[in-house]
């Protein structure tokens, strides 16, 4: 998706989400996808979940001025433009996913992780067992807890102290490089553990992955046996294999204080299943050429294989339009389903206790060198940092005079008549007119004659280019003003 940036001025110019090939693909094929889903996809990726429709409907409105916007104006030269609202949908919206990922990276690196060494862990399950996690998301949600238990058990045994506690941020990922279903767990874990007094104990440097692997294997087998998904005979059979298919990787270590490394890893853990950067092309017929993250060819599962049998090695795949939608929606979490977990010293409870302790100190300074973050300070700069990291420009810089742009009004989605009038007045209604997602929004009938302030300045050339990411900041500014922050 293009983000237009004026290289001469470094001024941020909002993107055009409705013009992207991916938006067009969803717009054109969603209704057909929904209609054929039961016949064509239920057996492959499970029953239709209500969250699919909700995600698509919201995504198709993301960045669309017709569904509400903020008016932003420069107080110095009166330069003005509109900023549409964002959808905040997971997986399906590249813009909102990217924003979420960057915010998560900042949150983990500055608000969660302490200045101690960390390791990235990755736990995987054999192909033979993945199918159970595809159809039973309750089992999928158990995997981070099992992975965390392997950490806690091994660490405590090595340190010889049952009272020590590590800290970990865990993420459920369900996708492989070419969008196929591949449930696994990523985690950022302290490379040691804390005593009750807050002292950090380091782990031996020559520790391998073997102790974790055996515990992980046993835990996953127990989970599936307990849920009645597999029989003991299968466990015996798989244990006799030379390679069971389970794996635990802990090869990436970050030294204490490597905030950038933590941020990069956290972003990697929370990234969206698909990336527009790897979407090579969408043909006029809707066929999608999608490439893998790495150039090394991989054995991609055969799409029709129910047991994920590997096909020929490749680092790209060409999807039919409906197949591409199916590959994406299977990774959308259910409403309220958390893919990120915080455990041990990094649990919400432990962080809350430490924050309270810091607040209670007379000068507000941390009571120990490992105690840390003040999340409140993150709020002040999170949006500016977000946009800076995404686009490397200052989004509030007036492109005309260099002043600071300010919000002057919110036009909410339920003000359909007002929205239409404003956009028509500015000659933007036809520009925004696109085939609407279903069910179509019902225009609101005003009870009285609506009015809106006239513009005092000529609209910029890019007035129709909208940026959903602006809204976060604008609402935050309004909230800050209300709270006197
Ligand atoms: Zn969005
Ligand atoms: Zn200006």
Structure confidence at residue 386 (pLDDT):
59
Residue 329 lies in a domain: no
Distance 468 CA to ligand 1 centre (A): 7
| Position 316 in a domain | yes
- Indicate whether 37 pLDDT > 90: yes
Q: What is the DSSP string of 280-333?
A: EEE-TT--EEEE-SSSS-EEEEPTT-TT--EEEEESEEEE-HHHHHHHHHTTPP
Domain CATH code at residue 268? 3.40.1310
pLDDT at 7: 35
Mean pLDDT for the chain? 79
Instruction: Give the highest mean pLDDT range of 131-145, 239-253, 436-450.
Output: 131-145
98 or 313: whose pLDDT is higher?
98
Question: What is the mean pLDDT of the segment spanning 3-17?
Answer: 44
Ligand whose nearest atom lies closest to the CA of 94? 1
Which ligand neighbours the alpha carbon of 404 most closely? Answer: 2
Which ligand places an atom closest to the C-alpha of 55?
A: 1
CA of 157 to the centre of ligand 1 (A): 46
For the cut 60, the answer to whether the pLDDT of residue 41 exceeds it is: yes
In a shared domain, residues 177 and 293:
no
* pLDDT at 452 (0 to 100): 30
Does residue 34 form part of some domain?
A: yes
pLDDT score for 290: 87
Query: Among all ligands shown, which has an atom nearest to the Cα of 77?
Result: 2
Residues 251 and 268 both lie in one domain: yes
Structure tokens, 203: 């782990």
Same domain, residue pair 258 and 352 = yes
Higher-scoring residue by pLDDT: 308, 466: 308
Q: Which ligand is nearest the CA of 72, by number?
A: 2
| CA–centroid distance for 149 within its chain | 25
**Torsion sign across C-alpha atoms 321, 325, 326, 328:** positive
The CA 358 to ligand 2 mean position distance, Å, reads 42
Ligand with smallest separation from the Cα of 80: 2
Is the pLDDT at 256 greater than 60? The verdict is: yes
Using alpha carbons, select from 21, 22, 16, 36 the residue that is nearest to residue 322: 36
What mean pLDDT do residues 384-404 have?
69
How many Å lie between the centroid of ligand 1 and the Cα of residue 124?
30
- How far apart are the CA of 456 and the centre of ligand 2, in A? 13
Distance 126 CA to ligand 1 centre (A): 34
Same domain, 289 and 427: no
> Which-ligand-closest: CA of 81?
2
327 lies in a domain?
no
Residue 352 pLDDT exceeds 60:
yes
Q: Is 28 part of any domain?
A: yes
Q: How far is the CA of 102 from the centre of ligand 1 (A)?
A: 14
pLDDT tens track for 422-462: 888 877 776 555 544 444 344 444 333 333 322 222 333 33
- 94 Cα: distance to centroid of ligand 1 (angstroms): 7
The residue range of the domain holding 436 is 4-93+383-483
Q: Are residues 284 and 363 in the same domain?
A: no
Number of domains in the chain: 3
| 191 plus 251 within the same structural domain | yes
71 plus 143 within the same structural domain? no
Q: Give the mean pLDDT of 394-400.
A: 76
* Rounded alpha-carbon distances, angstroms, from residue 66 to 20, 58, 253, 432: 17, 13, 48, 7
Tell me the torsion sign for CA atoms 219, 221, 226, 232: negative
Percent above pLDDT 70 for the chain: 74
Ligand nearest to the CA of 11: 2
% the chain with pLDDT above 90: 41
- Distance (angstroms) between ligand 2 centre and the Cα of 147 equals 53
Comparing 49-63, 128-142, 174-188, 347-361, the range with the smallest average pLDDT is 347-361
Q: Residue 302 to residues 6, 126, 307, 313: CA-CA distances in angstroms?
A: 44, 16, 9, 11
Per-residue pLDDT for 2 more than 80?
no
Ligand 2: distance of its center to the CA of 390 in Å?
23
For residue 433, being part of any structural domain is answered with yes
What's the gap in Å between 318 CA and the centre of ligand 2? 46
Residue 82 counted as domain residue: yes
Q: Where are the beta strands (DSSP E) in 298-428?
A: 298-301, 310-314, 316-319, 340-344, 406-411
In this structure, the answer to whether residues 404 and 463 fall within a common structural domain is: yes
Q: Give the rounded distance of the alpha carbon of 237 from its chain centre.
A: 38
* 20 alpha carbon, closest ligand: 1
Q: What are phi and psi of 382, to 5 degrees?
A: -60, -45
What's residue 438's pLDDT?
45
The bound ligand whose nearest atom lies closest to the alpha carbon of 100 is 1
User: Looking at the CA of 67, which ligand is closest?
Assistant: 1
151 and 283 belong to one structural domain: no
| Residues in Cβ contact with 93 at an 8 Å cutoff, skipping those fewer than 6 apart | 55, 58, 59, 62, 86, 87
- Tell me the two tokens of residue 483: 């709270």
Same domain, yes or no: 439 and 357: no
CA of 401 to the centre of ligand 2 (A): 4
Q: Which listed ligand is nearest to 396 at the C-alpha? A: 2
Among 53-57, 205-209, 223-227, 394-398, name the one with the lowest average pLDDT.
Answer: 394-398
Choice between 245 and 228, residue whose per-residue pLDDT is larger: 228
Q: 428 CA distance to ligand 2 centroid (A)?
A: 22
pLDDT by residue (tens digit) across 92-113? 998 888 888 988 998 899 899 9
- 411 neighbors 423 (Cβ within 8 angstroms): no
In this structure, is residue 110 part of a structural domain?
A: no
- Same domain, residue pair 158 and 288: no
The reported pLDDT for the residue numbered 426 is 79
Global confidence as pTM: 0.77
Ligand nearest to the CA of 272: 1
Same domain? 201 vs 125: yes
Q: What are phi and psi of 82, to 5 degrees?
A: -105, 150
Residue 473 has pLDDT above 80, yes or no: no
CA of 397 to the centre of ligand 2 (A): 8
pLDDT of residue 173: 95
Q: Which residues lie near ion ligand 1 (Cβ < 5 Å)?
A: 62, 86-87, 93, 96
Q: Give distance in angstroms: CA of 60 to centre of ligand 1.
A: 8
Q: Is the pLDDT of residue 10 over 60?
A: no
- Cα gap 411→85, rounded to integer Å: 10
């Amino acid at each position: 998706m293009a983000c237009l940036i004026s290289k001469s001025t470094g001024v941020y110019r909002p993107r055009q989400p409705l013009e992207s090939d991916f938006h067009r693909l969803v717009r054109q094929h969603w209704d057909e996808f929904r209609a054929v889903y039961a016949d064509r996809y239920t057996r492959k990726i499970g029953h239709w979940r209500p969250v699919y429709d909700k995600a698509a409907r919201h995504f198709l409105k993301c960045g669309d001025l017709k569904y509400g916007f903020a008016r932003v104006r420069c107080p110095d030269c009166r330069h003005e433009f509109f900023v549409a609202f964002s959808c905040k949908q997971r997986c399906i919206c590249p813009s909102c996913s990217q924003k979420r990922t960057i915010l998560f990276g900042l949150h983990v690196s500055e608000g969660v992780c302490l200045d101690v060494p960390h390791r990235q862990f990755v736990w995987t399950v054999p192909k033979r067992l993945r199918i159970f996690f595809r159809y039973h998301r309750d089992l999928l949600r158990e995997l981070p807890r099992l992975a965390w238990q392997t950490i806690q058990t091994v660490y405590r045994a090595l340190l010889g102290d049952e009272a020590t506690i590590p800290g970990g941020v865990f993420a459920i990922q369900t996708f492989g490089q070419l969008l196929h279903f591949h449930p696994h767990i990523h985690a950022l874990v302290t490379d040691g553990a804390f005593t009750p007094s807050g002292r950090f104990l380091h782990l031996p440097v020559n520790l391998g992955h073997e102790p974790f692997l055996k515990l992980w294997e046993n835990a996953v087998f127990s989970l599936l046996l307990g849920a009645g998904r597999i029989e003991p005979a299968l466990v015996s059979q798989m244990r006799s294999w030379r390679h069971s298919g389970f794996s635990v990787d802990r090869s990436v270590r970050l030294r204490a204080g490597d905030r950038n490394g933590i941020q990069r890893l956290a972003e990697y853990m929370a990234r969206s299943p698909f990336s527009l950067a790897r979407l090579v092309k969408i043909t006029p017929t809707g066929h999608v050429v999608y490439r893998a993250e790495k150039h090394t060819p991989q054995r991609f599962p055969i799409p029709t294989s129910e047991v994920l049998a590997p096909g020929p090695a490749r680092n790209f795949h060409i999807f039919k339009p409906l197949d591409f939608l199916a590959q994406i929606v299977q990774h959308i979490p259910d409403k309220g389903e958390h893919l990120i977990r915080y455990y041990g010293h990094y649990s919400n409870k432990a962080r809350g206790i430490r924050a309270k302790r810091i607040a209670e100190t007379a000068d507000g300074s941390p009571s120990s060198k490992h105690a840390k973050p003040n999340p409140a300070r993150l709020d002040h700069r999170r949006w500016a940092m977000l946009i800076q990291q995404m686009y490397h420009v200052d989004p509030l810089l007036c492109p005309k005079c260099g002043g600071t742009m300010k919000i002057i009004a919110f036009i909410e989605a339920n003000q359909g008549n007002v929205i239409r009038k404003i956009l028509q007045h500015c000659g933007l209604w036809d520009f925004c007119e696109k085939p609407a997602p279903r069910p179509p929004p019902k225009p609101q009938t005003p009870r009285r004659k609506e009015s809106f302030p006239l513009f005092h300045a000529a609209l910029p050339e890019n007035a129709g280019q909208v940026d959903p990411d602006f809204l976060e900041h604008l609402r935050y500014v309004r909230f800050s003003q209300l709270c006197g922050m």
